[in-house]
Structure 1
Amino acid sequence: MSELLTKEEMKAYRVQGFSCAGCAKTFENNVKKLHGVEEAEVNFGASKVYVKGKITIEELEKAGSFENLKVRDEKDQKVAHEPFWKQKENIKVYISALLLLVSWFLGKQLGEEHFLPTIGYATSILIGGYTLFIKGLRNLSRLQFDMNTLMTIAIIGAAIIGEWLEGATVVILFAISEALERYSMDKARQSIESLMDIAPKQALIRRGNQEVSIHVDDIQIGDLMIVKPGQKLAMDGTVLKGTSTLNQAAITGESIPVIKTVNDEVFAGTLNEEGLLEVSVTKRAEDTTLSKIIHLVEEAQAERAPSQAFVDKFAKYYTPAIVILAMFIAVIPPLFIGGDWSSWVYQGLAVLVVGCPCALVVSTPVAVVTAIGNAAKNGVLIKGGIYLEETGNLKSIAFDKTGTITKGIPAVTDIVTYSGNEDELMTITAAIEKGSQHPLSSAIIRLAEEKGLLFNDVFMDEFQSITGKGVKAKINNKIYYVGSLSLFRELHGQIKSNQKEKLSQLQTAGKTVMILGTETEILAFIAVADEIRASSKTVISKLNHLGVDTVMLTGDNRQTANAIGQQIGVADVKADLLPEDKLTFIKELQGKHQHVAMVGDGINDAPALAASTVGIAMGGAGTDTALETADVALMSDDLNKLPYTIQLSRKALTIIKQNITFSLGIKALALWLVVPGWLTLWIAIFADMGATLLVTLNSLRLLRIKEK
Structure 2
Amino acid sequence: MVNQETNSYRLTGLSCTSCSAKFEKNVQALKGVREAKVNYGAAKLTVTGQASIAELEQAGAFDHIKVAPEEEMSANESQDSVSFWRENRNQLIAAVLIALAFISQLTLGGTGFLTPLLLIVAILIGGYELFIEGFKDLIKLDFSMATLMTIAIIGATLIGDFAEGAIVVILFAISEMLESYASDRARQSISSLIKVAPKVATIRRHELEQTIAVQDIQIGDVMLIKPGQKIAMDGVVIKGNSTVNQAAITGEALPVDKKISDDVFAGTLNEAGYLEVQVTKRATDTTLAKIIQLVEAAQGERAPAQAFVDKFAKIYTPFIILLATLIVVVPPLFFGGDWQRWLYQGLSVLVVGCPCSLVISTPVSIVSAIGNAARHGVLVKGGIYLEEIGKLQAIAFDKTGTLTEGQPTVTDFVVVDNQLDEADVLQKISALESYAQHPLASAILAKSHKRGIDATKITIENFKSLTGRGVQGDMSGVTYFIGSSKLFSLSSETADTYQKFHQESKTVICFGTSEQVLAMIAMRDTVRPTSRQAIEALQSLGIKTTVMLTGDNQATAEQIGREVGVSSVKAELMPADKLQEIQTLQRRFEHVAMVGDGVNDAPALALANVGIAMGVAGTDTALETADVTLMGDDLAKLPFIVRLSRRTLRTIKQNITFSLILKVIALLLVIPGWLTLWLAILADMGATIIVTLNGIRLLRVK
> TM-score, normalization: structure 2?
0.91
1:688, CA displacement in angstroms?
0.7
Q: Which residues in structure 2 correspond to 1:317-332 (within 5 Å)?
A: 317-332=315-330
Work out which of the residue numbers 47, 53, 56 in structure 2 matches 1:57: 53
Query: What CA distance in whole angstroms lies between the structure 2 residues aligned with 1:51 and 1:82?
Result: 21
In 2, distance between residues paired with 1:671 and 1:59? Answer: 41
**3-state DSSP of counterpart to 2:31:** coil
- Equivalent AA in structure 2 for residue 590 of structure 1: Q
Relative to structure 1, is the Cα distance of residues 216 and 654 closer, same or farther in structure 2, using a 3 angstrom cutoff? Answer: same
Alpha-carbon deviation of 1:242?
0.9
Letter matched to residue 144 of structure 2: D
User: Any conservation in 1 of the 2:480–2:511 contact (CA below 8 Å)?
Assistant: no
Q: In 2, are the aligned partners of 1:192 and 1:373 still within 8 Å (CA)?
A: yes
SS at match of 2:617: helix
Indicate conservation of the 8 Å contact 2:4/2:49, yes or no. no
Instruction: Letter of the 2:569 partner, please give it.
Output: V
Contact 2:148 2:354 in 1 (8 A): yes
Residue 34 (structure 1) aligns with: 30
- The answer for the alignment partner of 1:582 in structure 2 is 578
Aligned to 1:3: none
Among 516, 520, 528, the residue aligned to 2:523: 528
Partner of 1:695: 691
| 8 Å CA contact 1:508, 1:563 repeated in 2 | no
Alignment pair present for 1:614 and 2:610: yes
Find the aligned partners of 2:241 and 2:4 in 1 and give their Cα distance: 37
For the residues of structure 2 that align with 1:208 and 1:688, how far apart are their CA atoms? 64
Q: Mark the CA change 1:167 to 1:449 in structure 2 (over 3 Å): closer, same or farther.
A: closer
Residue 499 (structure 1) shift: 5.8
Q: Give the AA of the match of 1:307.
A: A
Residues 436 and 465 of structure 1 are in contact (CA less than 8 Å); yes or no, is this contact kept in structure 2?
no
Deviation at 1:663, TM superposition (A): 0.4
C-alpha distance 39-274 of structure 1, shift in aligned 2 (>3 A): same
1:96 aligns to what? 94
What letter corresponds to residue 277 of structure 2 in structure 1? Answer: V
Deviations 1:246-268 (A, max 9, x none): 11111111121111111111111
The residue aligned with 1:135 is: 133
How big is each residue's C-alpha offset from its partner over 1:633-660, in whole Å with a ceiling of 9 and x where there is no partner?
2221322322222222221221111111
Quote the residue 1:546 is aligned against.
Answer: 541
Deviates further, 685-694 or 671-680:
671-680
Q: Look up the equivalent residue of 1:509 and give its one-letter code.
A: E
Deviations 1:639-696 (A, max 9, x none): 2322222222221221111111100111111112222222222321111111111111
Aligned-partner Cα distance in 1 for 2:431–2:159: 99
Does the 8 A contact of 1:227 with 1:233 survive in 2? Answer: yes
Distance 1:259 1:473 in 2: 35
Partner of 1:388: 386
Deviation at 1:359, TM superposition (A): 0.8
* Residue identity opposite 2:43 in structure 1: S
C-alpha separation in 2, matches of 1:625 and 1:135 = 47
1:126/1:483 CA distance change after superposition, 3 Å: same
Q: Is 2:224 aligned against 1:208?
A: no
Query: Secondary structure of 1:233's partner?
Result: coil
**Alpha-carbon distance in 1 for matches of 2:501, 2:85:** 71
Q: Compared with structure 1, are the counterparts of its residues 42 and 474 closer, same or farther at alpha carbon in structure 2 (3 Å cutoff)?
A: closer
Quote the residue 2:231 is aligned against.
Answer: 233
**In structure 2, what residue type is equivalent to 1:621?**
A
Residues 242-294 of structure 1, C-alpha deviations (whole Å, 9 max, x = no match): 11111111111112111111111111111111211111111111111111112
* C-alpha deviation, 1:355, in angstroms: 0.5
Q: Give the Å deviation of 1:460.
A: 5.2
Distance 2:291 2:464 in 1: 53
- The CA distance in 1 between the partners of 2:618 and 2:681, in whole Å, is 51
| Distance in 2 (alpha carbons) for counterparts of 1:72 and 1:462 | 65
Counterpart of 2:77 (choices 79, 86, 98) is 79
Q: Show the 5 A alignment for 1:130-209.
A: 130-209=128-207
Per the alignment, do residues 113 and 610 of structure 1 end up closer, same or farther by CA in structure 2, a change over 3 Å counting? Answer: farther
- Is residue 644 from structure 1 mapped to residue 669 from structure 2 by the alignment? no
Map 1:654-673; keep pairs closer than 5 Å. 654-673=650-669
Q: Taking every aligned residue pair, what percent have the same amino acid on both sides?
A: 55
1:443 corresponds to 2:443: yes
Supply the distance in 2 between the matched residues of 1:409 and 1:401 (Cα, whole angstroms).
Answer: 12
Deviation at 1:144, TM superposition (A): 2.0
Q: Provide, for residues 59-86 of structure 1, a one-character-per-residue CA deviation record: whole Å limited to 9, x for no partner.
A: 2112222222211111112413877970
The answer to whether structure 1 residue 630 and structure 2 residue 632 are counterparts is: no
Alpha-carbon distance between aligned partners in 2 of 1:68 and 1:436, rounded to the nearest angstrom: 67
Secondary structure (helix, strand or coil) at the match of 2:209 reads strand
Letter in 1 for 2:560: I
The answer (yes or no) to whether the contact 2:507–2:524 under 8 Å persists in 1 is: yes
Q: Does structure 2 retain, via aligned residues, the 8 Å contact 1:474–1:480? A: yes
Deviations 1:487-521 (A, max 9, x none): 599x88xx84x666644543443322345688997
Over 3 Å counting, the alpha-carbon distance change for 1:433 and 1:334 in structure 2 is same
Question: Does residue 294 of structure 1 match 2:295?
Answer: no
Return the letter of the residue paired with 1:356: C
TM-aligned CA distance change 1:277 to 1:157, over 3 Å: same
Q: Quick check: 2:463–2:471 contact (8 Å CA) kept in 1?
A: no
Separation of aligned partners in 2, 1:240 and 1:210: 17
Farther off after superposition, 305-314 or 386-395: 386-395
Provide the rounded CA distance (Å) in 1 between the counterparts of 2:648 and 2:165: 37
Structure 2: which 5+ residue stretches go unaligned? none
> For the structure 1 residues 129 and 463, does the alpha-carbon distance in structure 2 shift closer, same or farther, using more than 3 Å as the test?
closer
Check whether the contact 1:347–1:680 (CA below 8 A) recurs between aligned residues: yes
CA drift at 1:410: 0.6
Partners of 1:84 and 1:643 lie apart in 2 by 42
Counterpart code for 2:366: V
Residue pair 1:136, 1:152 contacting (<8 A) in 2 also: yes
Q: Match of 2:467?
A: 465
Counterpart of 2:19 in structure 1 is 23
1:249 aligns with 2:247: yes
Structure 2 residue 501 is matched with structure 1 residue 506: yes
Per mean C-alpha deviation after superposition, the further-off stretch among 242-251 and 610-619 is 610-619
- Residue 130 of structure 1 deviates from its aligned partner by 2.0
Once the 2 structures are TM-superposed, how far is the Cα of residue 202 of structure 1 from its aligned partner? 1.3
Secondary structure of the structure 2 residue equivalent to 1:80? helix
Q: Which amino acid aligns with 1:350?
A: S
Are 1:463 and 1:472, in contact at CA under 8 Å, matched by a contact in 2? yes
Q: How does 1:293-312 map to 2 (within 5 A)?
A: 293-312=291-310
Instruction: Give SS of 2:600's match.
Output: coil
C-alpha separation between the residues in 2 aligned to 1:332 and 1:401?
70
Partner-residue secondary structure (3-state), 2:204: strand
Give the counterpart letter for 2:148 in structure 1.
Answer: L
Q: Secondary structure at the match of 2:605?
A: helix
Cα separation, partners in 2 of 1:225 and 1:157, compared to 1, 3 Å: same
Task: Check if 1:593 corresponds to 2:589.
Answer: yes
Offset of residue 465 of structure 1: 3.5
Task: Indicate conservation of the 8 Å contact 1:43/1:302, yes or no.
Answer: yes
Distance in 2, matches of 1:88 and 1:593, equals 57
After superposition, the Cα gap between the structure-2 partners of 1:205 and 1:87, relative to the gap in structure 1 and judged at 3 Å, is: farther
3-state DSSP of counterpart to 1:79:
helix
**What CA distance in whole angstroms lies between the structure 2 residues aligned with 1:464 and 1:377?**
50
Q: Return the TM-score normalized by structure 1.
A: 0.90
Report the Cα distance in structure 1 between the residues aligned to 2:434 and 2:4, rounded to whole angstroms: 48
Counterpart residue identity of residue 678, structure 1? W
Give the CA deviation at 1:459.
4.6
Tell me the SS of whatever aligns to 1:140. Answer: helix
1:432–1:460 Cα contact (<8 Å) kept? no
Whole-angstrom CA distance in 1 between matches of 2:574 and 2:184: 48
Matching of residue 11 in structure 1 with residue 7 in structure 2? yes
2:262 corresponds to which of 254, 261, 264 = 264
Partner SS, residue 75 of structure 1: helix
Q: For the structure 1 residues 432 and 587, does the alpha-carbon distance in structure 2 shift closer, same or farther, using more than 3 Å as the test?
A: farther
SS of alignment partner, residue 617 of structure 1:
strand
Q: 1:543 corresponds to which letter in structure 2?
A: L
Q: CA deviation at 1:109?
A: 3.6
Q: Alpha-carbon deviations, 1:97-132, whole Å to 9, x = none?
A: 222222233234445464332222222222222222
**1:106 equivalent in structure 2:** 104
Report the CA distance shift for 1:13/1:438 in structure 2 as closer, same or farther (over 3 A): closer
Greater Cα offset, 500-509 or 240-249: 500-509
Q: 1:620 to 1:317 in 2, by over 3 A?
A: farther
CA–CA distance in structure 1, aligned partners of residues 604 and 533 of structure 2: 24
